[in-house]
Structure 1
C-alpha cells in the first residue's frame, strides 16, 4: 500500500507554529534531537491548547490514523494529562463526529519520546473540514511528529 499524504501541515514544527494555533504553547529546539524542533505545551496555569483545521473531502472506505509523539518534561517526574481530538466538520465548522483520545503520559527515567496513535472512524459524507486538537490538562510536554493518514478500511 502506498503511503498516504499527511493531512496536517507543518507536523514537525520545523517551519514555526503556523498553521497551528493555541495558547500556552511555543516552538522550541528539540532537546533530544539536535537540529530539530518541537512544540512545548505548558499546562501550569490552565490548559495548554493547540489546534489545526484543514479543508477535507472524505474518501470512500477509508479510516484515518492520528499518530504523534510526546516527551513528558513535567518537573519532579510528574505525569502529564493530554487529550487528543480529531473532529470531522461540515462546511460551516459544525462538528459532525468527534474522536477523543485521553492519555496519562508517564514520566520516564531516561528522557525519550513516547509514540501514540488512535484510529479515527470513517467520516460522514458531508464532512468538509477536519480539526485536530491537543489539550494538555496538566504537566509540561514536547509534542512532535503529528501525522493524520488515510488507510483503507480493513487493512
Structure 2
C-alpha cells in the first residue's frame, strides 16, 4: 500500500472510531448521572459538599468535575440530582483543575476552574460563583 493510500485508510479508520464513540445507541441511561453524583458524594472532600439551609430550605450540594449538583428529594421517589452550575463552555478539551465550595453568611460560594489541555496554568473557564438559594448563581468579579 502506498504512503498516501495508507494515510487515507488511517484517517478513515480514526474517523470511524470517533463516530462509533459518539453513537446514539449508547445513550446515557436514566439514573446514570444520579448514580455518579451519589458516588461523588461518598468520595467528596469536605470542601466539595454543602449541607445546610439556604433561603429557608434544606439544601444539599456537591461539586463534581467542576459542576455543582443540588439534591432533589421527593417523598414518593428516590433522591435525584439537578445540575445547577457549570462553567461556560470552552472550544477545546479541558479538565477540572480546581473546585470547592464554602458556606458564607447568606449563601454558598463555589470556586470552579477548568484548564485547557496542553495549556499551562488555570483557568480557561470557570470562576467564583455565589448563590443564596443553591439554584441561582451569580459570577463574582
Larger radius of gyration: 2
TM-score by length of 1: 0.27
TM-score, structure 2 as length reference: 0.29
Bigger fraction of residues in helix = 2
Higher relative contact order (CA 8 A, sep 6+): 1
**Structure (1 or 2) with the greater strand fraction:** 1
